[in-house]
Amino acid sequence: MMRLGSRKGTSLVEGIMFIPLVILLLLGMMEFGRITYTYYQLQKIMYALARAAGTQQNINLCNAGDENLARAIAIARTGTGETGAEPVVLGLQASDFRIRIERYDPTTDSLTDCDCSSTGCDTSQGGSSPDFVLVDLSNGYPVTLRIPFIAQDPIILRPAVRLPFGGT
């Protein structure tokens, strides 16, 4: 005798309806992990550049063409001192980095940008050393999510590192 409203196949239909949600959640977790890893890599690169620029001897942070500064950027960007080597993070160029020098102002209890002059932080013109070095990406680093059938704008990652200046 057959029962009315047999429940055969309902678990199959529920499973088929649930699978796309599980796949979407897995893809989202993978993309979140990729973005987190990329941000962590960029943060490490910024730290390496700030440390190299802040501890390098005879570096002129006011001159964008300084040889020591270019070597520090190449070391941070590629992991080697070669400017033509592949970057650690794809698409990262030497021109993407922004290095700012800052000085602590005790009257306002804040950090201000240090001007590149003989009265500022240009040590090649007789100025005094800055207090801090701030390294970031001038336009950020765009990361596009790779989730099928969903189009969106890229996420802009903006890592920044500020370290005390210890060079000469």
pLDDT of amino acid 139: 94
Mean pLDDT, the chain, rounded, equals 88
* Cβ-based neighbours of 137, under 8 Å, separated by 6 or more: 42, 46, 96, 97, 98, 157, 158, 159
* Cβ-based neighbours of 67, under 8 Å, separated by 6 or more: none
Percent of the chain topping pLDDT 90: 52
The residue ranges of DSSP E strands in the chain, in sequence order, are 97-105, 110-113, 132-137, 141-143, 155-157, 160-164
Overall pTM > 0.75: yes
At position 52, the amino acid (one-letter code) is A
- What is the token pair recorded at 81? 């001192």
pLDDT of amino acid 168: 62
Kindly indicate the confidence band of residue 4, based on its pLDDT and cuts at 50, 70 and 90.
Answer: low
- Residue pointed to by tokens 């400017």: 83
pLDDT digits (tens, 9 = 90+) for 73-131: 999 999 887 878 899 999 999 899 999 999 998 899 999 998 888 888 888 888 888 99
Kindly indicate the confidence band of residue 2, based on its pLDDT and cuts at 50, 70 and 90.
Answer: low
pLDDT digits (tens, 9 = 90+) for 25-64: 998 899 999 999 999 999 999 999 999 998 888 888 888 8
Q: How far apart are CA 69 and CA 71, in angstroms?
A: 5
Q: How far apart are CA 68 and CA 56, in angstroms?
A: 8
* Cβ-based neighbours of 93, under 8 Å, separated by 6 or more: 77, 87
